[in-house]
């Protein structure tokens, strides 16, 4: 059944129970009329910004948005983009889109103005819903974006080129629209990119969304008494579908703004969170704060915290060993997946399998896996080949890109592009990656984009960007630069040149040396990775 039915069930059964909390411990609650000493919850700290909605209100908000869209002519198969930071409005808007039979199209909030325009045109988006942080980026191409499209602004002070979300939904009916939705209807488009950095639009049916939700609840035994802490952005399949375990269970979730160790621990403590999904840097920071004495574990109410699962990048086994020293009673899981497989979970370690930390795990709920050679034949156990997955969460296609679809979808199997092997117990280990994507702090970085930019420097003859192991971020970008004959440059000069790049794309390490290329002229990145110690990166959960 479509995931919208889970929302409607929760609204009937758990009408007045809290569904979602928006929490920002680092921001004052500006709704207070005055501030007094009695408002302080600890020295020099005010009550944090906090909002919540019940399951009943959640469903009503989704219905109002759906009915507004229908009144504006939205029909099955239309595409509605969401470009917003995490907030209480995000998920009701997402579910409102689904209830109309339209296709929800979440955008990466890192996209610049041109990337937004590119993806809008690629996915043939009909409506754009955006938050205040994106006014400038939308305004840059407002004339093109608004041509034949409705622009809906969620926030205060609506810009002139858009319409106000609040005003549009104010008088809309709160009952569910009478639109029949089936598992075979198209439900969502997510964006992915290969090593070229050009996004592909990944189309999923409602069946995929339901599979991801039910799988998450199954994998982590999410129950009515659990509270899930969601920190990553909801545009990620990982964040959204990990949350959907709470949807299936009918339990509370907390959308936390901020990822500092004290922020995370305070949220877990105050909201009594039981399940927390972390990225490697956040887990490292928490452990480092305990090791240094900056934070003390006994200052927080953490006894109810039962599960820490982690992913989005290589997970060092040493990290989990350290984690167990502070949290010996925690269950642990890691997840592997792609946006093409509706996010994480097609392979997962499984709670309790600490003896296999380092593996990505075994096939997830309702999933099959195989490892094949270049001819597509299954390799012997222990041999290395390409990991392929098959299940109800596999994408329908790359939207409007049949040739790319044919490359990765074969007889129902999704060819992941990741090289793997299976041990004697059936656990799968990643041993290499065909793709050159660098996963740093849970974000995908595409080397070609950085290489193309660096090549505009008139001192640079050749350049290759690779990922190097990093204890906190998993990987960091390193630019291997070969200068033109007679030219000279320093690392500081290259750093200054890269200041026009977004911060997360700037190389963290600059290395000056000759770039190795093979007989066909291709850069030999495996040689560079081995030379600079980057050939030992293993185990990732790809979150697009």
pLDDT of the chain along its 544 residues, tens only? 999 999 999 999 999 999 999 998 777 655 443 333 333 344 444 567 899 999 999 999 999 999 999 999 999 999 999 999 999 999 999 999 999 999 999 999 888 999 999 999 999 999 999 999 999 999 999 999 999 999 999 999 999 999 999 999 999 999 999 999 999 999 999 998 644 457 899 999 999 999 999 999 999 999 999 999 999 899 988 889 999 999 999 999 999 999 899 999 999 999 999 999 998 778 888 998 999 899 999 999 999 999 999 876 657 787 888 899 999 999 999 999 989 999 889 999 999 898 998 899 999 999 999 999 989 999 999 998 899 999 999 999 999 999 999 999 999 999 998 888 999 999 998 875 666 778 888 777 877 778 878 988 989 888 889 999 888 888 899 999 999 878 899 999 999 999 989 888 899 999 999 988 754 446 778 788 888 876 554 333 333 3
pTM: 0.82
Fold match, 4-258 / 443-531: no
| Residues 503-537 as b or e (16 or more Cβ within 10 Å = b) | eebbbeebbeeebbeeeeeebebeebbeebebbeb
330-433: CATH, from 3.40.50.450, 2.30.38.10, 1.10.260.30, 2.40.10.10: 2.30.38.10
The whole-angstrom separation of Cα 319 and Cα 322 is 5
* Structure token digits, residue 232: 């990553």
- Cα 467 from Cα 360, distance rounded (Å): 20
Taking CB atoms within 8 Å and a gap of at least 24, the contacts of 508-512 are 508/470, 508/476, 508/477, 508/478, 509/468, 509/476, 509/477, 509/478, 509/479, 510/478, 510/479, 510/481, 511/478, 511/479, 511/480, 511/481, 512/481, 512/482, 512/483
Q: Bridge-partner residues for 343, per DSSP? A: 338
State how far the Cα of 525 lies from the Cα of 532, in Å rounded to an integer.
10
**What is the predicted pLDDT for the residue at 228?**
98
pLDDT tens profile 230-258: 998 999 888 899 999 999 999 999 999 99
**CATH number belonging to domain 4-258:** 3.40.50.12780
CATH class of the domain at 443-531: alpha beta
Vertex 236 angle, CA 232 and 447, to 5°? 100
Contacts of 219 (CB under 8 A, 6+ apart): 245, 333, 335, 345, 348, 350, 351, 364, 365
User: What is residue 516's DSSP assignment?
Assistant: P
- pLDDT attached to residue 455: 82
Q: What residue spans define the domains of the chain?
A: 4-258, 330-433, 443-531
| Pair of tokens at residue 196 | 């070229």
Q: What is the pLDDT of residue 504?
A: 86
Helix/strand/coil (H/E/C) assignment for every residue in 220-266: CCCCCCCEEEECCCCCCHHHHHHHHHHHHHCCEEEEECCCCHHHHHH
CA distance 61 to 266: 29
Q: Tens digits of per-residue pLDDT, 510-534?
A: 999 998 875 444 677 878 888 887 6
């Amino acid at each position: 059944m479509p995931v919208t039915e889970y929302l409607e069930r929760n609204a009937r059964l758990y009408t007045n129970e809290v569904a979602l909390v928006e929490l920002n411990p680092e921001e004052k609650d500006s709704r207070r009329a005055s501030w007094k000493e009695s408002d302080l919850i600890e020295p020099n700290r005010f009550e944090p910004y906090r909002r919540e909605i019940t399951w009943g209100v959640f469903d009503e908000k989704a219905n109002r948005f759906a009915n507004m869209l229908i009144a504006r002519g939205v029909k099955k198969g239309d595409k509605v983009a969401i470009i917003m930071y995490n907030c209480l409005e995000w998920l009701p808007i997402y579910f409102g889109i689904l209830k109309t039979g339209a296709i929800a199209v979440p955008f990466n909030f890192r996209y610049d103005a041109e990337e937004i325009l590119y993806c809008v045109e690629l996915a043939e988006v009909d409506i754009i819903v955006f938050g205040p942080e994106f006014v400038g980026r939308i305004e840059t191409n407002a004339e093109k974006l608004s041509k034949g499209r409705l622009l809906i602004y969620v926030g205060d002070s609506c810009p002139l080129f858009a319409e106000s979300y609040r005003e549009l939904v104010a008088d809309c009916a709160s009952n569910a629209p009478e639109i029949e939705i089936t598992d075979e209807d198209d439900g969502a488009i997510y964006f992915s990119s290969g090593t070229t950095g050009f996004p592909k639009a990944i189309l999923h049916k409602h069946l995929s969304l339901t599979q991801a939700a039910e799988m998450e609840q199954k994998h982590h035994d999410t129950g009515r008494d659990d509270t899930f802490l969601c920190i990553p952005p909801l545009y990620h399949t990982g964040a959204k579908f990990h949350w959907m375990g709470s949807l299936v269970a009918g339990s509370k979730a907390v959308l936390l703004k901020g990822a500092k160790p004290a922020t995370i621990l305070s949220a877990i403590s105050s909201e009594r969170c039981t399940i927390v999904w972390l990225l490697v840097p956040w887990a490292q920071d928490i452990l480092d704060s305990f090791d240094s004495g900056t934070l003390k574990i006994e200052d927080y109410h953490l006894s109810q915290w039962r599960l820490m699962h982690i992913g989005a990048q290589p997970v060092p086994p040493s990290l989990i060993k350290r984690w167990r020293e502070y949290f010996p009673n925690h269950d642990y899981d890691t997840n592997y997946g792609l946006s093409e497989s509706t996010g994480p979970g097609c392979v997962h370690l499984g709670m309790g399998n600490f003896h296999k930390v380092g593996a990505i795990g075994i096939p997830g709920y309702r999933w099959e896996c195989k490892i094949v050679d270049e001819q597509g034949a299954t390799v012997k156990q222990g041999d290395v080949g390409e990991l392929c997955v098959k299940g109800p969460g596999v994408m329908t296609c790359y939207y409007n890109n049949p040739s790319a679809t044919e490359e990765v979808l074969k007889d129902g199997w999704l060819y992941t592009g990741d090289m793997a092997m299976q041990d004697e117990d059936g656990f799968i280990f990643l041993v290499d990656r065909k793709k050159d994507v660098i996963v740093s702090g849970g974000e995908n970085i595409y080397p070609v984009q950085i290489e193309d930019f660096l090549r505009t420097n008139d001192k640079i003859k050749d350049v290759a960007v690779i990922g190097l192991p990093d204890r906190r971020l998993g990987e960091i970008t390193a630019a291997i630069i070969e200068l033109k004959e007679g030219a000279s440059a320093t690392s500081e000069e290259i750093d200054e040149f890269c200041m026009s790049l977004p911060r997360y794309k700037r190389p963290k390490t600059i290395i000056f040396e000759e770039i190795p290329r093979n007989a066909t002229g291709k850069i030999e990145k495996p040689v560079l990775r081995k030379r600079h110690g980057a050939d030992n990166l293993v185990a990732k959960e790809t979150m697009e």
